[in-house]
Structure 1
C-alpha cells in the first residue's frame, strides 16, 4: 500500500492522515474501523513508516529506505505489532508492550509505534491494562487500533482514539484491479464478485479449483441448454463425484463451492442485464433466455445447494440432488 493507492481506494482516509502528517498534528491514538478488505492494516503500516521515515515526501514515507523496509518486515526496535486475528490478546502481551515502551527509544527517530490488529479480540484484562497506558501517553508514542466493528471495541478505549472509518471497496474497484493484474474481462468480472480484498485477487487468479469450477460451469450449462439430460451426463462424467482421498474431497468441495458461486453470478448477470465482453458467457446468457431457462428456480436451487454444502461432505450426492431439482424434482 502506497499513498497513491490509499488516495484512490480511501480518499477520505488519505486526506485525514495527509493533513495530520503535513501539519504535524497527529493524534496519539487512532482507531481504524471498516469491513474486511478495506486496507486498514496496510494503511496502519504506511502511517507507521511515515512516522519514522527520514526521506518523507509531503509527509508520507518513501517506503524504500532501510527504516521503511524494517517496519514492513516487523524488524524495527521501537515498533510493536500485535495481531489479534490469529489468537486472543491477553494481558501479558499488553504488559510486555508497556514495559518495552517505558524504556528509552532505541531507534534514531525517537518514535514508538504500536499497531493492534483485530483489537476487539483483547481480553478484558488486556483492554483495561492498555487503557491506563493510553490515558497518559508519552509525546513520542503513537498507537493504531484496527477493528471491523466499532461496537466490539471497549468504549473507554474508542473514546481515547481518533476514529477513522474505512469504506467498503466497490466491485468496480475490484474489477479494475483484476484487469490490471492481467485477468481477461470474464474472469475479472467473476473474481471481482468473489473477493473481499485486493490481495485475494492474485490468490484467486492462480487458484486451480476456481479455474476448474468456471470451466465445468460453462461446459455444464452449454450441455444442459442443449438438453437437461446432456447436462446430467456431463456432470456425472466430468464433474463432482465423491473422492476417496481426503485431499481430493477437500478439493472437490472447494471446486463445487466456486461452481455454485459462479452459477449465482450467472443468474445475477441475467437479471441485471450485465454482459461481460466474453463470447462464451454472452452466448450462454442469450441461449438461456431464448430457451426460457427458469433463472428464478435455478437461483433457488443454488441457494438450497449452498446451504446443504455447509452441512454435508458428500459432494456427489449434493450434485445429484441439485440436478434432480433442476430437472423438476421437488425434494
Structure 2
C-alpha cells in the first residue's frame, strides 16, 4: 500500500484531511486507470473503527474488506462486465437492509460506471439524488466523457495521477498550450482528443480565466474574489449547471487551500437537476466571503 500512497499522494492527502474533519463526501468518482486499489483503500478507511485517517489493516473490518467479505461493503461489477439496470436495483435492495456490523456506516463500490448501460446510469442517478448519511458511494471510471454530467455533479471527482496525464501534459506543452490551463483541463479530460478540443474552445478558456482570476484575487481578498467570480459566471457568461460544475472541478485541482476545497465539495453536493445555478453561485460566493469575516 505504500506504493499507492506515493503514486496518489495528492488524492490521499485530501481524503485524509476530509476524514480528520469528519467531512467525507457521500459519493466519490475515481477518474483514471487502475482505480481498484484506491477504491479498496478508501473503503477500508471508512469502515475501519481503529484508525483515522487511513486504516489499521489488522482489525476485523480491515481484514473483511480485504477479503471482500465485509457485511457493510457491496462491490458491483468486480469482474468488469457491463453494468445493467438489474445490478443497480439489486444494490438498492441490499442497501435497504440494516447493516450487520456494529457501526451502521456502509460503502458500495461500482467499477467502470463509464461502461454502464443508459438504463443503469439513470437508475444510479435516481439513487445518488437522495444520498443517505450512513452510505458512501465509490464509483470508478476510465473516461469521464462517458459518464452522465448529472452523475458527475453528484460526486466528488478525484482524478488519479497517472503516467497518461504526464504524456498528455507533455504533448500539449509541445503544441504550445499554456501549462496552467493544461493542468486545469486534465481534471476534465483524460484523452488527447478531449483535451485538445477543450484547449481550443473559447467558452472553456473563458471559464478557465474566471477560475484563474478568482484564485489570483482570493489570497488577498476573499470578498473581492467572490464578487468577481459571481459577476463573470452569472452576468457575463450566464453559465448552466454543467459549466458551473466544470469550473468547480478546475478550481479544486488548481488550489491547495483546504478551506476552499471544502466549500467546493459542499457546493458540488448541492448540484441537482432543476436547482438554480444562480442560487448555487450566490451560495458559493457567500460561503467564500464568509471566510474573510471569521
Please state which band the TM-score falls in when normalised by the shorter chain.
0.5 to 0.7
| Cα contact 2:84–2:120 (8 A) shared by 1 | yes
Instruction: Quote how far apart the aligned CAs of 1:64 are.
Output: 1.6
1:171-209 Cα offsets, whole Å, 9 max, x none, are xxxxxxxxxxxxxxxxxxxxxxxxxxxxxxxxxxxxxxx
- Whether 1:78 and 2:72 are equivalent positions in the alignment is yes
> Retained in 2: the 8 A contact 1:84–1:117?
yes
Deviation of 1:60 after TM superposition, in Å, equals 0.9
Preserved contact between residue 84 and residue 119 of structure 1 (Cα < 8 Å): no
Task: Give the aligned partner of residue 237 of structure 2.
Answer: none
Distance 1:128 1:25 in 2: 27
- Cα distance in 2 for residues equivalent to 1:85 and 1:158: 23
SS at match of 1:146: strand
1:164 partner SS = strand
TM-score where L is the length of structure 1? 0.48
Query: Does the CA contact (< 8 Å) of 2:80 and 2:111 recur in 1?
Result: no
Structure 1: how far apart are the matches of 2:135 and 2:87? Answer: 18
Cα offsets for 1:222-279 (capped at 9, x unmatched): xxxxxxxxxxxxxxxxxxxxxxxxxxxxxxxxxxxxxxxxxxxxxxxxxxxxxxxxxx
Q: 1:120 touches 1:153 (CA, 8 Å); kept in 2? A: yes
Indicate which of 120, 128, 131 corresponds to 1:134.
128
Equivalent runs, 1:56-71 vs 2, <5 Å = 56=51, 58-71=52-65
Aligned 1:159-198 pairs, distance under 5 A = 159-169=153-163
Q: Is the 8 A contact 1:84 1:121 kept in 2?
A: no
Q: Is the CA contact 1:80–1:114 (under 8 Å) kept in the aligned structure 2?
A: yes
* Equivalent residue in structure 2 for 1:49, among 30, 34, 44: 44
Shift of 1:85: 5.7
Using structure 2 for the length normalisation, give the TM-score.
0.53
Q: In structure 1, what is the equivalent of residue 188 of structure 2? A: none
Aligned twin of 2:214: none
Cα pair distance change 1:126/1:70, threshold 3 Å: same
Question: Superposed, which structure 2 residues align to 1:1-331 within 5 Å?
Answer: 1=1, 4-34=2-32, 36-37=33-34, 40-56=35-51, 58-83=52-77, 86-169=80-163
1:163 match: secondary structure: strand
SS at match of 2:62: helix
- Residue 146 of structure 1 and its aligned partner are, at CA, apart by 0.5
Task: Tell me: higher relative CO, structure 1 or 2? Use CA pairs within 8 A at least 6 residues apart.
Answer: 2
Detail structure 1 runs of 4+ shifted over 6 Å in the superposition.
none
The number of residues matched between the two structures is 165
Unmatched segments (≥5 aa) in structure 1:
171-331
Q: Deviations over 1:112-164 (max 9, x none)?
A: 11011111111111111111111111110000011111111111111100000
CA distance in 2, matches of 1:85, 1:52: 23
Query: Does structure 2 retain, via aligned residues, the 8 Å contact 1:28–1:143?
Result: yes
Contact 1:84 1:122 in 2 (8 A): no
Superposition RMSD on alpha carbons, in Å?
1.8
Report the secondary structure of 1:93's partner residue.
helix
Give CA deviations for 1:37-62 in whole Å, capped at 9, x if unaligned.
4xx21111111111111211x41111
Matched residues in 1 for 2:133 and 2:101: separation?
16
Supply the distance in 2 between the matched residues of 1:5 and 1:23 (Cα, whole angstroms).
Answer: 25
- CA shift for structure 1 position 75: 0.5
1:7 Cα deviation after fit: 2.9
Give the Å deviation of 1:84: 6.5
Offset from partner CA, 1:47-88 (integer Å, 9 cap, x none): 1111111211x4111112121111111111121111266311
- Secondary structure of residue in 1 paired with 2:36: helix
SS in 2 for 1:113: strand
Q: For residue 205 of structure 1, what is the aligned residue in structure 2? A: none
